[in-house]
Amino acid sequence: MDERTIEEILSEQADLLIQGQRESAALPVNANELATLMRLAEQIQRALAPVEPSPVFVSHLGKRLISTMTDGSRKMGRRARRAILIVAAALGSVVSVASAVGVVIYLIRHRKRLSVQP
């Protein structure tokens, strides 16, 4: 039996169990292994009970999430400032070197012009 067929049948069975129906989904011809899985799914469905978190837990979790988010944005702000500083320093260095090269080229050209004129 191919896996896709098993997945589809188990999904259909899970949907039926969630709706409170105990009948089995349409089974293919070779249903031995699938029947075992169906029984297991039904046992799991009976064992699982819906759980509602307490208001205290929800409140505490919300505060922790907000705190974590705030701390993360502060860290990201520091990282961003540091990255901007490094990029600015690198650009400043490039501009400085380019300026120095430009001055040297200017002086070399200017010297040639001055030496050509009598």
> Residue 69 domain-assigned?
no
| pLDDT(40) > 80 | no
Question: Is 116 contained in some domain?
Answer: yes
118 and 80: one domain?
yes
Q: In the chain, what percentage of residues exceed pLDDT 70?
A: 75
DSSP conformational letter for 72: H
Q: Residue 96 and residue 88: Cα distance in Å, rounded?
A: 12
Report if residue 108 sits inside a domain.
Answer: yes
- Residue 13: the pLDDT is 74
Radius of gyration of the chain (CA): 36
Asked, for residue 93, whether it belongs to a domain, the answer is yes
Domain enclosing residue 9, as ranges? 3-47
Whole-model pTM?
0.34
Same domain for 80 and 40, yes or no, is no
Domain-located, residue 84: yes
Q: Output the pLDDT for position 72.
A: 66
Count of the separate structural domains present in the chain: 2
